[in-house]
Chains A and B, each alone.
Chain A
Amino acid sequence: MLSPSEIDARLERILLKVQKPGRYVGGEFNSVVKDWDSVKARVAFIFPDIYDIGVSNLGLQILYDLVNQRPDALAERAYSPWIDMEEQMRISGIPLYSLESKHALADFDVLGFSIPYETLYTNVLNALALAGIPLRSLDRSEIHPLVIAGGHACFNPEPMHAFMDAFVIGEGEEVIGEIIEAVKQEKRKSKNRGGLLRSLAEISGVYVPRFYDVTYLDDGTVEAITPNVSEAPQTILKRMLAQLPPPPTKFLVPNIDIVHNRVAVEVMRGCTRGCRFCQAGMITRPVRERGVDEVVAAAEAAIQSTGVEELALLSLSSSDYTPVLDLVTAIGEKFAGRHLTVSLPSLRIDTVSVALMEKLKERRSGGFTLAPEAASERMRRIINKYIPDEQILSTVREIYSRGWPTIKLYFMIGHPSETLEDVQAIVDLCKRVLAEGRRALGGRARVHAGVSTFIPKPHTPFQWVAVDTPQQIRLKQDLLKRELRDRNIKLSWTEPDDTLLEAWLSRGDRRLAEVLFTAWQKGAKFDAWGDQMRFGAWQEAFADRDLDPAFYTHRPRRPDEIFPWEHISDAVRKNYLFADYQKSLAGEIQQDCRQNCHACGILPAFATERREHPGLYWKCPEVKSPQRAKVHK
């Protein structure tokens, strides 16, 4: 492998030939460059998309910060080079390198990939190839870095099982330290990859795919998933932090213009709403909040340490953050007159949200975003995001009359049992919303309708249902395009091919690894970039591997089917999800679980953690033991 100074010298010859060379040189304020030889463990974190998207990823910022706080370890970063840079790097023989010290990735002890969504998979393979590292775990030995991955997509790790030595399931803050300890141990003694993997398998929340055998039934579904070494548990329970650790404040400040140049403070993790389509809402349970003081102090420290004037207060559902009003008031007072832009995403559809936004925004430019997800009351019951029509209309009335000219409405098509009437309801609702806008603002009022296509994700109550076929999707999209022709309504949608690809990858089993590999060989990469996605390569890859893509997507799964992700547990029980799915079919709503526990499985799975942290910030309600409940009856 080339040395850092050789890489630097070769880079100098090519950087002016590519767009935005600032992506490839590092040097951000708050980046950490440690002495390479002063530490025992070296970790490279890789976000497998371009710098512009990856650099602001909060998950990686958290881990980068945590590892660099350790005196015995260093963390550096790499991102996917864009097409033009990849070509130049190949011509000049430059391997994928870290931005901080310009070491080749092959020189690190650990490569940690962040995989928040499935359409990054081919970029992971491409990054390993550019790093000159064997793609398959079984082809790597102790001379190669340990290759691991984490992030939401890893809750179904099976399509990527062949390429990763290990996956982290769930929250990474604690487990990254345990992995570093195991790597240090290995370097000291055995120097044996098998030994390291066995000790990793013993760490709670770590999944080492080679230690599991999968057998299939004649119909192609999974028969059993069986551990083949004693260290590997039957079920890998996700990691979960009973109390959120102090948030990072030393954010990297990119030197070039990127998508989101902002500091972010996570105010809450998890969600109690129970929307049935939402994977994040299931896999990040339970809800844990940070206190207002902690959030405000972190925001101030982050703004001070970066100089950045945009603050995002992140959570899955801002309105559900218990002291949201106090937080907004405190932020407003603290930063008044400082040209700070604050964003508070995922607000509930009610007039309280409008008041909250009004406190945060001095100007009414830009849009106000609402996500009804479905346009008919019937469908909103099915997906468990029940809001009466009248509540939506009164909210938009309030938004327009307070001066926001544009309302963005997010919907999905393809929900279970959806008919064309439900799709027509999207049209009708958009028109009713615009009519409210016209009444308040006249011709200035706008509606942006973003209509994506539902993909039933693993670990949700809808994991049993089929994805719409491309024909069904096109029929529904054609209806929307035909009926929403209005110069004040802008419609955007997801291409059916993009939906199908994401659906295969998120619902797939181990056999998809070969499809992935073949598609990558045929040139698939940057699948999340509409114009780069090569659907043909994917179709050919399925054909080459003799697999029917429809098996993964257009087939309702049997109630007793063993899912490819059956051995990965987010602590929410499968029979709870199935019962919730049955309720959905009956049009029954499941209430928010902050008041009444619906026994999803979180509390028994994390009973110890709960006992140690009974405090204010973990939002599961107190549950009486069954025996005491009987006495009270």
Chain B
Amino acid sequence: MRVRITFAKDGALRYIGHLDLQHLWEWTLRRAGQALIYSQGFHPSPKIQIAAALPLGFSGQAEVVDVWLEADAAHLPSPDSLQSAAPPGLTVLAVEAVDERGPALQTRVEAAEYLVTLLEPVEASDLEERIAAVLAAESLPRERRGKPYDLRALIEMLETGTGTVPSAKHIRMRLAAREGATGRPEELLDVLGIPLEMVRVARTHLIFRKR
């Protein structure tokens, strides 16, 4: 059975990278007593697909992973059984069985929303001005790993506040996350003149394309 797990990743796990997270799920599932389905080939590995890599240091509030288990749909693991086998920092939010033949999760991610918390206060009006300037720009040409791209085209939303509460200590952003067109919060923060070590970043949502 293919099982989709929605989870939060925080605390010490913010410093755990994508490949390590893969292993972490492997061990967590085994501790929960689940037998994993392996890929074929000379080096079989468990079938685990994480929707989108989360940059080191970011927390995730609603990350998604698909795992393939030997058990059938009548034996869907409960969120509690997975939670008790999970390391500190990993919170299981939802578990559902999904169509075995559905497309890979990675190909369905369209955008991601982030909430940035400033660790030290900045002048509210100054921040608003910088955000307005970014939104007003026709294009924001940037270069990453030697490849030029337009960051402006990847910004779908950018504002101060938490989404529910106005706050000069928070910035919300929604950035495109399609294959070959992924907006990075750290790049946008750089344009806003905010160094990464002055903030805490949480990915609050992943937005998936309807099939």
Contacts and interface: CB of A to CB of B under 8 A. Distances in A.
A15 B24 contact: no
Interface string B6-29: 000001110111011001101111
A22 B11 CA distance: 11
A339 B46 CA distance: 10
B15 A257 contact: no
Nearest to A16: B57
B181 interface: no
Contacts of A521: none
Contact of A27 (B23, B29, B89): B89
Interface string B49-64: 0000000110000000
Interface string A9-45: 0001111110001101111110000000000000000
Most buried by B among A28, A253, A255, A304: A255
A607 to B, nearest CB: 45
A29 B30 CA distance: 13
B99 to A, nearest CB: 26
Interface residues of B, number: 32
Contact of B27 (A257, A308, A338): A308
A307 B28 CA distance: 7
B26 A27 contact: no
A483 interface: no
Given A22-B20, A307-B29, A27 B85 contact: no
A468 to B, nearest CB: 42
Interface in A215-274: 253, 255-257, 261
Contact of A253 (B13, B27, B29, B57): B27
Contact of B12 (A26, A257, A309): A26
B44 interface: yes
Contacts of B19: 257
A340 to B, nearest CB: 10
B197 interface: yes
Contacts of A12: 119, 200
A307 B23 CA distance: 10
Given A13-B197, A307-B26, A307-B85, A21 B15 contact: yes
B173 to A, nearest CB: 19
Given A27-B13, A29-B88, A307-B30, 13 more contacts: A16-B197, A22-B15, A25-B12, A27-B87, A28-B87, A29-B27, A255-B12, A255-B16, A255-B87, A256-B17, A307-B29, A338-B35, A365-B42
Interface of A: 12-17, 21-22, 24-29, 253, 255-257, 261, 304-309, 338-339, 365
Interface of B: 11-13, 15-17, 19-20, 23-24, 26-31, 35-36, 38, 42, 44, 56-57, 85-89, 119, 196-197, 200
16 contacts: A12-B200, A15-B15, A17-B197, A21-B56, A22-B16, A27-B13, A29-B27, A253-B87, A256-B16, A257-B19, A257-B20, A307-B30, A307-B85, A308-B30, A309-B30, A365-B42
